[in-house]
Amino acid sequence: MHLPKIAMIGAGQVGATAAHLIAKKELGNLVLVDVDAGMARGKALDIAESGPVAGFDVAVSGTDDYADIAGSEVVVITAGMARKPGMDRSELLRKNVEIVSGIARQVAEHAPEAYVIVVTNPLDAMVCTVKEVTGFPPNRVMGMAGVLDSARMRRFISQELRVSGKDVTAMVLGSHGDRMVPVRGSSTVGGIPITELLSAERLEAIVERTRHGGGEVVELLKTGSAYYAPGASITEMVESIVRDQRRIRPVAAYLQGEYGVSDLYIGVPAIIGSGGVEQVVEIHLTEAEREQFDASVESVRKLIAEARAVSGPGGA
């Protein structure tokens, strides 16, 4: 059976967790790339050795040589610093823009046809950096955050109502930060609008917890940030591309007039398939959500300007 090649740049907590899930689903043969070649090789070997027990058969290798990503259909960028308690994601910008720019140059050289999913924080600015440095078309560069933020909201709703999270839908848009926009009207449980099942007060508490969901895990872990739910969210996006599922998921996509915004990456619903971000879907936002979305846009524009100042013109 022909399997696509999937490159995971960064074999840390998020990269390795996502790689393991991708291998278990047999979505493709994997190459893990990290500045720490020993760790990339060791984790690749360990994941591959779990195959006979877990019941999957894919190739998994580790390397620090970008030539090994040649021919990758999907490249996921998870390399970079994670935040610690008390930090905001934006504090990672200086260090991570350097790391991500360097990686983007390697991706453009060695995997020029790839679809790229950016995960490194601060997410919206890093995905913009990757587009600018690679020069790839917008449909081939996207960011993972909305699937994760929505998963958190789904989980909190399912806990509150004591129902299966599988039946809960949620849509969190905007930037991946405290200004994210959980869209109440897009939340349902078994097809029933959430507003019929939860009081406005309880729903507001869930929305607030969702906004700080990443920070909640950081405070508990103390040494870094979340990786199980991020790993699952990356896997869902990779699957939608390599299996051409055309799922509508919230992703950081490049807006070219949609939502009245241009030349900016931000979280919106989009159809994800074998053509990457195939279509941005515009949904109705209430006045309050629209204001929050606009505030999100402003915060991302500021971060992107900072990222450009660090990485230089054209992200080079």
Ligand X SMILES: NC(=O)c1ccc[n+]([C@@H]2O[C@H](COP(=O)([O-])OP(=O)(O)OC[C@H]3O[C@@H](n4cnc5c(N)ncnc54)[C@H](O)[C@@H]3O)[C@@H](O)[C@H]2O)c1
Q: Which residues are marked as active site?
A: 176
Q: Among ligand LMR, ligand X, none, what binds residue 81 when CB lies within 5 to 8 Å by partner kind?
A: ligand X
Q: Which is nearer to ligand X, 37 or 161 (CB)?
A: 37
Q: Is 99:79 a contact under the CB 8 Å cutoff? A: yes
Q: What is the C-alpha separation between 166 and 227, in angstroms, rounded? A: 20
Please state the closest distance from residue 278 (CB atom) to ligand X, in A: 21
Q: Which is nearer to ligand LMR, 17 or 139 (CB)?
A: 17
Please state the closest distance from residue 84 (CB atom) to ligand LMR, in A: 9
Query: What part of residues 61-120 is at the interface with ligand LMR (CB under 6 A)?
Result: 83, 89
Q: Among ligand X, ligand LMR, none, what binds residue 182 when CB lies within 5 to 8 Å by partner kind?
A: none
Query: What part of residues 229-258 is at the interface with ligand LMR (CB under 6 A)?
Result: 230
Please state the closest distance from residue 165 (CB atom) to ligand X, in A: 18
Is 14 one of the binding residues for ligand X (CB under 6 A)?
Answer: yes
- Among 220, 100, 89, smallest CA distance to 149 is for 89
One of 6, 60, 103, 104 touching ligand X (CB under 6 A): 103
Q: Which is nearer to ligand X, 13 or 240 (CB)?
A: 13
Please state the closest distance from residue 29 (CB atom) to ligand LMR, in A: 27
Q: How many chain residues interact with ligand X (CB under 6 A)?
A: 34
3-state secondary structure the chain: CCCCEEEEECCCHHHHHHHHHHHHCCCCEEEEECCCHHHHHHHHHHHHHHHHHHCCCCCEEEECCHHHHCCCCEEEECCCCCCCCCCCHHHHHHHHHHHHHHHHHHHHHHCCCCEEEECCCCHHHHHHHHHHHHCCCHHHEEECCHHHHHHHHHHHHHHHHCCCHHHEECCEEECCCCCCEECHHHCEECCEEHHHCCCHHHHHHHHHHHHCHHHHHHHHHCCCCCCHHHHHHHHHHHHHHHCCCCEEEEEEEEEECHHHCEEEEEEEEEEEECCEEEEECCCCCCHHHHHHHHHHHHHHHHHHHHHHHHHCHHHC
Is 21 one of the binding residues for ligand X (CB under 6 A)?
Answer: no
Is 121 one of the binding residues for ligand LMR (CB under 6 A)?
Answer: yes
Please state the closest distance from residue 251 (CB atom) to ligand X, in A: 11
Is 13 one of the binding residues for ligand LMR (CB under 6 A)?
Answer: no
Binding segment for ligand X (CB under 6 A), chosen from 32-40, 45-53, 204-212, 290-298, is: 32-40
CA 87 to chain centre: 20
Tokens of 220: 């508990």
In our burial notation (b when 16+ CB lie closer than 10 A, e otherwise), range 147-171 reads bbbbbbbbbbbbebbeeeeeebbbb
Q: Among ligand X, ligand LMR, none, what binds residue 34 when CB lies within 5 to 8 Å by partner kind?
A: ligand X
Residue 120 in marked binding region: yes
Is 296 one of the binding residues for ligand LMR (CB under 6 A)?
Answer: no
Please state the closest distance from residue 20 (CB atom) to ligand LMR, in A: 18
By the criterion CB under 6 A, which residues form the site for ligand X? 9-15, 34-36, 78-83, 92, 96, 99, 102-103, 119-121, 123, 144-145, 148, 176, 224-227, 230
| Residues placed in the known binding site for NAD(+) | 10-15, 34, 96, 119-121
| Residues placed in the known binding site for substrate | 83, 89, 121, 152
By the criterion CB under 6 A, which residues form the site for ligand LMR? 83, 89, 121, 148, 176, 214-215, 217-218, 225-226, 230
